[in-house]
Amino acid sequence: MSEFFSMGGYGGYIWGSYAITAIAMIALLVATLRSLRNSRIERDQLEAVLQSRRTRRNKKAPKAP
């Protein structure tokens, strides 16, 4: 088992590479999820603005006889 982890003397490089890759992938996942959350918040805000504009426009429109 010890020989597996030492990887023929290159274990430090190999396991270090795995660690750096894992950290980068986790950081990418976190950044993606934050961006998704911010996009959803912005979408909800824009939909609220659009709804309020529609409501105001309907109130100002003359009523048909």
What does the pLDDT look like over 1-46, one tens digit per residue?
888 889 989 999 999 999 999 999 999 999 999 999 999 999 999 9
Residue 40 lies in a domain: yes
Residue 65 lies in a domain: no
pLDDT value for 29:
99
C-beta separation of 42 from 36 below 8 A? no
pLDDT value for 17:
97
C-alpha 39: how far from chain center: 8
pLDDT value for 59:
81
C-beta separation of 40 from 33 below 8 A? no
Listed in sequence order, the residues at least 6 apart from 14 whose beta carbon sits closer than 8 Å to its beta carbon are: 7
Residue 64 lies in a domain: no
Name the domain count of the chain: 1
Domain extent for 28: 2-59
pTM of model > 0.85: no
